[in-house]
Amino acid sequence: MEAASSPDGPLDPLDVAERWKASGRDVALATVVETWGSAPRPVGSHLVIDADGNFHGSVSGGCVEGAVVAEAVDVIGSGAPKMLEFGVADETAWRVGLSCGGRIKVYVERLG
């Protein structure tokens, strides 16, 4: 992961996305759009990802973010956005580390 900060502290993921785009990187933005029950991050949380898998921000925690980064790299390549859902009812919940009883929906889009 590439660290991004300023003298005032960590940069907002949207600022990082803007900087990465300005430097010529292909970038995707993941946004938490819905939560149910216990969720590590609130609606509106962002994770910015580049084509090399560098990322900044957070949409969850643990392995969920790894899965979102992998999907985001695919979104960058295809240009087609994806809606991802992770939850305890999903058979992948334990595998990606969302065993807290909550569910989240994350929208991933390539930034033009």
Domain around 58: 5-111
Closest CA to 53 of 33, 74, 34: 74
Tell me the C-alpha distance between 94 and 49, whole Å: 24
> pLDDT tens digits for 37-78?
878 899 999 999 999 999 999 998 777 899 999 999 999 999
Residue 28 neighbours by CB under 8 Å, 6+ apart? 48, 49, 50, 72, 73, 75, 76, 108, 109, 110, 111
Rounded to the nearest angstrom, the gap between the alpha carbon of residue 41 and the centroid of all alpha carbons in its chain is 11
pTM: 0.82
Residue 40: the pLDDT is 83
Number of domains within the chain: 1
Tokens of 3: 């660290």
